[in-house]
Structure 1
Amino acid sequence: MNPLESLREGLSPDTHRLTLTGCGLRELPAEVYDLADTLEVLDLSGNALDTLPEDLPRLHRLRILFCSNNRFTRLPEVLGRCPSLEMIGFKANQIREVPAAALPPRLRWLILTDNQLETLPEALGQRERLQKLALAGNRLQSLPDSLADCQQLELVRIAANQLTALPDGLLALPRLAWLACGGNPMSLDQEAAVRQHSELPEVAWSTLQCLRLLGEGASGQIHHVRGAAGHDAALKVFKGELTSDGLPGTELATWLQAGTHPALIAVQARLTGHPAQAQGLLMPLIGAEFQPLAGPPSLASCTRDIYPQALRLSPAAVRQLASDMASALSHLHARGLAHGDFYAHNILHDAAGHARLGDFGAATLLAPLPTAQALALQRLDVRALGCLLEELLERCTEAPAPALAALRDACLSPVPQQRPSAAEVAQALRAQ
């Protein structure tokens, strides 16, 4: 029985989540309102919807609404009248307009990736609870000045738009830690950045044997491969599609720019001759003793990673892991990069605290930006480092040393200019 048939047969009256994806819907089924007193999450993605009913606020407990891959050209104003709505996802529609009235008062998370937006309303800055804003793959030429009023904003994705400059007010926000802004006219041409690293060795697809899929992210798949000489490696094959972070071509350019560092997942060669003309990077195969430090944020945590409940780290492991990551960030900043997605879920670690940082999907090449803004983007990474330190210390088997706690607090300073540089953090950790 498909989800729509189940709904019409009658679901439990205490249903909290309803998924009606790929059902060919052109309108909201009336039976959804039978769940008005309990429904909190509604997923209508992959249908043929272009509007929502005016009585949608009858779903008075609805907190999360997904309508991705539909036919909307305008964000429905009725959303603004939904009393509990906090998260809105309208990825991959044809939305050209966001009326101010469409923004609910409790908005925390807005996803409008891969649409046709050219402007956003100033009213967006009046949503004081806004934490996460995903706008990659639109046609935005500027951002509302009012975003400077979003004091809770922590993560912003504005890559692959038509932005010629970043607003200083956005970069001065006290809690902003994760920003993806590559693939805009203000950024260095990604193809030129790739050409700068033409000396990197190449490996032909025909010489590789794919053994198994290691993992898959928004921008591509990672395979365990074996070369002609019998050497095992990891191969990331880019999908060539827009992701929530931006364009795979930008990730390729920034990963090449990152160079080598003991705490980075290094690039060994570029892929050639893929049957679908996909781009790819060959990397060392990381040992099985290295595991992801955490999982990505959940709908509930919004911007913070989800760690294994049983994870506990010794003080020595915390210091080692923090030192590795601060050193890696310092290296990237010196190479003219901001990581933009410095999260535990992008870090592999072993039981001793040794770590490897990867995933450059949200990274930004800093060279074309004004010096002050390039430094501002580096300070966002440092705040993200402070979040990591906070999370590590929460999982430490002993009370943190005062110096380490002070370093965490300095990285988390709400005044970006008062944060230490990544190099200063790395030096302080080495001295402990």
Structure 2
Amino acid sequence: MDTLAQLKAGQLAGVTRLDLSCGLTEFPQEIFDLADSLEILNLSGNALSSLPDDLYRLRHLRVLFCSDNAFTEVPECLGQCQQLSMVAFKANRIHTVSAASLPPLLRWFILTDNQISQLPTALGERPLLQKLMLAGNHLEHLPESLANCKNLELIRIASNRLTHLPDWLLALPSLTWLAYAGNPVEMAVELAGDDSTPNIPWSQLSLEHVLGEGASGIIRQATWTPPSGSTQPVAVKLYKGSITSDGSPLHEMQACIAAGRHANLIKVEGRVIGHPENQAALVMQLIDPSYRNLAALPSLASCTRDLYEPSTRFSADVALRMARGIASVAAHLHQHGITHGDLYGHNILWNEAGDCLLGDFGAASFHATADSLESRALQRIEVRAFGVLLGELLERIDSGLSEDNRQRLEALRERCCQPNVLARPGFEEVNRSLEHH
């Protein structure tokens, strides 16, 4: 983190990125001294409520983070920033987004956890828009102009006030990752089956070290000592109560439980009861340390695409085993009326044998299990996510794949990613295709 003193002393000349989080109430004018070089400006975690009208003087500015501040509107000066493509105003008090505030090259727009009830029609006039984060607002509808955003791949609209999913949204040719939990349209869905998940008293758990932490909560290793049976090591996920970029952590917990059992899902042992602070938590199987993440999260540059280590390579058998496993578990979820919403390599754990587990239900949503045009479209949006993943696996196969098989798998990938949503195969058909490879 840079310091205001360094900035004012002129010690940051030539930097391309500036991070300032020091209780700012006003925009430091010394930032303009960096106009010849500055590309990424992070002012998150301050007390700012406005930006200077001449912000466009930062002519190389591509990325602006202003989350966790005190803005009540997206500043209109952003619309004059000709190179600005990524804008983040998460967790402010924003209620107004005007057409004038939208930069022409807008690609990635984060407005999570605000008070927005309406978006401008002009948002659909940003052809590069690829990622749109709107969870935790007051939206009752989306501008129909977004139907023009043919490059829009990821949209988060969870925890709003939407009573229906518009037809144009479900027909967007590039839409791949959709989260809409916590809206009236989703909450009206009746969940299939009974919840037979056992309750596990907090007193039976002994927490140990932290295994990982994400936006929705903290995962810790623990020892579970049931009254009957042997002591066993487990993982405990303690959920946070705040809105994340995907939606509500409590919706994630509900989806984890509703997903049931599958060989490619992390097993839920039970729901924690009796936490001293009433914190929601799940007890889950402890994953063998031989498993690791398939990919890393997208970068600012890749936007919607995961990052893979250059050394990540597979044999055809391992890659196809993973592809079959993910297609199988996705079909299982769809049969239970669940879309994962974040089917990505970074949410897949795998080992050298090709065993794999799909995790992170933070973007999961419920839909009707009865066949309809809406449920079919929702499922085939996720099929596109599988097509992207299949392409990433195919790129990294270094042995054992014949040219004929590669061509057939490439054809399957293309069918999964074709722009006509309803013409894509469902996961049952995808599974049948993969069985022949």
Quickly name the TM-score band, shorter chain normalised: over 0.9
Once the two structures are superposed, what CA deviation does each residue of 1:181-227 show, in whole Å capped at 9, x if it has no partner?
A: 0000111269x859x75431111111111121111111111111111
What is the aligned-residue RMSD (CA, Å)? 1.7
Do the aligned partners of 1:295 and 1:345 also contact (CA within 8 Å) in 2? yes
Once the two structures are superposed, what CA deviation does each residue of 1:279-320 show, in whole Å capped at 9, x if it has no partner?
A: 111111111111110111111110011111210011111110
Residue 341 in 1 paired to residue 376 in 2? no
Which residue number corresponds to residue 418 of structure 2? Answer: 413
Aligned length: 429
The 3-state SS of whatever aligns with 1:281 is: strand
Q: What pairs with 1:244-323 in structure 2 (closer than 5 Å)?
A: 244-323=245-324
Give the whole-Å Cα distance in 2 for the aligned partners of 1:161 and 1:4.
Answer: 37
The 3-state SS of whatever aligns with 2:142 is: coil
Which residue number corresponds to residue 61 of structure 2? Answer: 62
The 3 A distance-change label for structure 1 pair 252 and 8 is: same
Moved over 3 A (4+): none
Do the aligned partners of 1:109 and 1:302 also contact (CA within 8 Å) in 2? yes
The 3 A distance-change label for structure 1 pair 370 and 44 is: farther
The 3 A distance-change label for structure 1 pair 370 and 90 is: farther
Q: 1:13 Cα deviation (Å)?
A: 2.5
Q: What pairs with 1:24-423 in structure 2 (closer than 5 Å)?
A: 24-188=23-187, 197-228=194-225, 229-367=230-368, 371-398=372-399, 401-423=406-428
The 3-state SS of whatever aligns with 2:97 is: coil
Once the two structures are superposed, what CA deviation does each residue of 1:339-380 show, in whole Å capped at 9, x if it has no partner?
A: 111011110000121110011111111029992212111111
Q: TM-score, normalised by structure 2?
A: 0.95
Do the aligned partners of 2:339 and 2:382 also contact (CA within 8 Å) in 1? yes
Do the aligned partners of 2:336 and 2:369 also contact (CA within 8 Å) in 1? no
Which residue number corresponds to residue 4 of structure 2? Answer: 4
The 3-state SS of whatever aligns with 2:91 is: coil
Give the whole-Å Cα distance in 1 for the aligned partners of 2:307 and 2:29.
Answer: 36
Tell me which amino acid in the other structure corresponds to 2:421: P
Do the aligned partners of 1:193 and 1:253 also contact (CA within 8 Å) in 2? no
Tell me which amino acid in the other structure corresponds to 2:367: L
Q: 1:261 Cα deviation (Å)?
A: 0.6
Tell me which amino acid in the other structure corresponds to 1:172: A
Do the aligned partners of 1:197 and 1:256 also contact (CA within 8 Å) in 2? no
Tell me which amino acid in the other structure corresponds to 1:214: L
Give the whole-Å Cα distance in 1 for the aligned partners of 2:261 and 2:369.
Answer: 22
Identity of aligned residues (%): 50
Do the aligned partners of 1:186 and 1:368 also contact (CA within 8 Å) in 2? no
Gaps of 5+ in 1: none
Give the whole-Å Cα distance in 1 for the aligned partners of 2:338 and 2:195.
Answer: 19
Which residue number corresponds to residue 14 of structure 2? Answer: 14
Give the whole-Å Cα distance in 1 for the aligned partners of 2:124 and 2:50.
Answer: 25
Give the whole-Å Cα distance in 1 for the aligned partners of 2:370 and 2:213.
Answer: 31
Q: TM-score, normalised by structure 1?
A: 0.96
Judge which range, 402-411 or 196-205, deviates more.
196-205
Give the whole-Å Cα distance in 1 for the aligned partners of 2:188 and 2:318.
Answer: 40
Judge which range, 258-267 or 103-112, deviates more.
258-267
Give the whole-Å Cα distance in 2 for the aligned partners of 1:197 and 1:129.
Answer: 44
Q: 1:75 Cα deviation (Å)?
A: 0.7
Give the whole-Å Cα distance in 2 for the aligned partners of 1:290 and 1:241.
Answer: 29
Tell me which amino acid in the other structure corresponds to 2:13: P
